[in-house]
Structure 1
Amino acid sequence: MGEIQGTQTPAHSPRISTVGHAALDHCFAIEQFPAQPTKTPAQAYRMVSGGMAANAAIAAARLGARVGLFGAVGDDEAGQFLARRVHSHGVDCQGLQRVPGATSSISAVVIDANGERQIFNCRGDALRRALPLDVSYLQGSDVVMVDPRWMAGAIVALHWARSAGVLSMLDGDLSPQEDLQTLSALADWSVFSESGLAEFAPGVSVEAGLQQALDAGTQVAVVTLGPRGVRWKRRGDDAVHSIASFAVKAVDTNGAGDVFHAGLALALAQGQDDRAAIRFAAAAAALKCQRTGGVVNGPDRAELDQFLALQS
């Protein structure tokens, strides 16, 4: 694919494999969301790569990891853009399939002046038509991260990680309950968005939802709550732990969850304990929220270390 333009990483850096969704995002910046359907002017527009696995891959590469992305896009223009874009930010894309005749996932992302966003996605059929995941590409991984968008690939990756003794993590964003339950039972860490946990365990408290994930088989259950911080629980520990969010002025929350997952995976791969790793990840997400432009403008490792050093 040509020379990688992203940050180069040393060979001893942790290797993270991300398995799942890559999407082409058309991003529109507006002043505020209208109360009812109407024509709304946008102050800015940009076309970027998106999707949970692709975003996490770019974010992890920016933080200094060696990263491989595994998923599928179509052989359309969107797929060509995605493959070039993700690779240009330092991600190994040899596991990103180009499926003949398939359509890539495309989203419209609308972001208001407070940094909140709405996403409208047409997922396409590339992941559904993808060939099975070749686990030989996962050899050498320190962490395997999956999302629920490519269930076949995620299940294979999680089974491989468990048999190989490699740390695994689920990005538990909003998805069908059955899919989240299947993957959570196989992952060492199940890291849910608030809406994802509510879908996984509807009608119960956050604490009960985390416990349900542990009962299903995961080792550590986490939920990110935006400005209300992060809560988590580990198997065998009766306590539900929490950290507060970092006080920042959010201008664009799009991709913050993906940056959190990338930061958490890197911190765990480098041996940080639960609290330190989650704090590291939360700081990375907070820095992302202060910047527009998606995960490509997320923090690098030096920026994140400096930010953490300034916190009390």
Structure 2
Amino acid sequence: MSAKVIVVGSLNMDLVARAQRLPRAGETLAGESFATVPGGKGANQAVAVARLGASVAMIGNVGDDAYGQQLRQALLDEQIDCQGVAVCPGVSSGLALIVVDASSQNAIVIIPGGNGLLRPASVQAFDTLLQGAEVIICQLEVPHETVAYTLARGRALGKTVILNPAPCTGPLPADWYSAIDYLIPNESEAQALTGQPVTDLTSAEVAASQLRQLGANNVIITLGAQGALLAGPQGMRHFAAPVVQPLDTTAAGDTFVGGFAAALARGESQEQAMAFGQRAAALSVTRAGAQPSIPYLAELQP
């Protein structure tokens, strides 16, 4: 059976340190705990799709190290199709060095490793997976040429194409937008894409309008505790966030993207998918870690 969702993206091992606050430049702080947790935006989103009710395949790279073996096995344990996850000889797996403070804010440094070697040919080799899918998801932790190829191929195949533009440091190439069905940035990513401050619903509406004018069919700006804004051909709608006590916001955005995609792949409406993704993300922030925090479908049933 073909996977309904294909994720083309990164696999990282997250090295997570907890401290009362984030260190300042040149400062050494005493930490409180340390954990090694499978992560990477691509892998996180694939896990979210799998746990939240849709079949999924991953296309990406790991290094030929112990972390790579653990990352691949973590996906296999979730029943994710990993035929498209390649091992790159002589290269480390991707790493994310994460510090989380007492208020659940984090600072992250990414080392690409094998993720940096994911080429368009790597995706092209598994074109049958793309052909059999309903939804294709990309992020920006792999080379942009590979993202560009995947977006264009997804559009050519008539699939629902989602881009989570993270991490983002500036505008996207102009020719990407027309291939994107759902562009899903958070506040800081929307600000980087548009050059306009995004701090609340009003400024998010301005940014979303600008991104739609550039060609994205739908724009979803996630606003943390302020909810999410959906802007599309039918206008704009704000979705309030469920109220929770956050512990760790790591992978909240990935959980939303995966939950949203899983709901679409199951045939739910755009509005149902928005609400489902928000409920999943809200539950994830009450737990520590990236993939360990992602909930299962049964936990979200009424």
- TM-score, normalised via structure 2 length: 0.89
Structure 1: runs of 5 or more not aligned: 1-10, 307-312
Q: Are residues 114 and 84 of structure 1, via their aligned partners in 2, closer, same or farther at CA, if it must alter by over 3 Å?
A: same
Query: Is the 2:9–2:115 Cα contact (8 Å) retained in structure 1?
Result: no
CA–CA separation in structure 2 for the residues paired with 1:22 and 1:302? 26
Q: Deviations over 1:92-139 (max 9, x none)?
A: 111112122233221111112222211111223543364431222223
Query: Is the 1:173–1:195 Cα contact (8 Å) retained in structure 2?
Result: no
Match of 1:149 in 2: 141
Q: Are residues 92 and 180 of structure 1, via their aligned partners in 2, closer, same or farther at CA, if it must alter by over 3 Å?
A: farther
The amino acid across from 1:189 in the alignment is: Y
Query: Is the 2:14–2:95 Cα contact (8 Å) retained in structure 1?
Result: yes
> 1:160 aligned to 2:153?
yes
Please, which of 32, 36, 39 is the counterpart of residue 43 of structure 1? Answer: 32
> 1:101 aligned to 2:97?
no
Q: Are residues 75 and 244 of structure 1, via their aligned partners in 2, closer, same or farther at CA, if it must alter by over 3 Å?
A: same
The amino acid across from 1:46 in the alignment is: A
The amino acid across from 2:232 in the alignment is: R
Secondary structure of the residue aligned to 2:116 is coil
Secondary structure of the residue aligned to 1:222 is strand
Secondary structure of the residue aligned to 2:230 is strand
Please, which of 188, 209, 212 is the counterpart of residue 211 of structure 1? Answer: 209
Please, which of 15, 21, 35 is the counterpart of residue 26 of structure 1? Answer: 15
Match of 2:122 in 1: 132
Structure 1 position 222, deviation (Å) = 0.8
Q: Deviations over 1:247-298 (max 9, x none)?
A: 1000011001000000100112223222221111011000000111322332
Mean CA deviation greater in 253-262 or 56-65? 56-65
Query: Is the 1:185–1:213 Cα contact (8 Å) retained in structure 2?
Result: no
Q: Deviations over 1:197-237 (max 9, x none)?
A: 111100263223212221222211110011111012102x3
> 1:111 aligned to 2:108?
no
Match of 1:191 in 2: 184
Runs of 4+ in structure 1 over 4 Å off: 34-37
The amino acid across from 1:117 in the alignment is: N
CA–CA separation in structure 2 for the residues paired with 1:127 and 1:39? 30
CA–CA separation in structure 1 for the residues paired with 2:53 and 2:265? 12
Secondary structure of the residue aligned to 1:185 is helix
Match of 2:200 in 1: none
Q: Are residues 35 and 101 of structure 1, via their aligned partners in 2, closer, same or farther at CA, if it must alter by over 3 Å?
A: closer
Match of 1:85 in 2: 74
Structure 1 position 56, deviation (Å) = 0.3
CA–CA separation in structure 2 for the residues paired with 1:223 and 1:96? 30
The amino acid across from 1:140 in the alignment is: G
Q: Are residues 178 and 34 of structure 1, via their aligned partners in 2, closer, same or farther at CA, if it must alter by over 3 Å?
A: closer
Match of 2:194 in 1: 201
Query: Is the 1:73–1:127 Cα contact (8 Å) retained in structure 2?
Result: no
Q: Are residues 247 and 37 of structure 1, via their aligned partners in 2, closer, same or farther at CA, if it must alter by over 3 Å?
A: farther
User: Percent identity between the aligned chains?
Assistant: 28
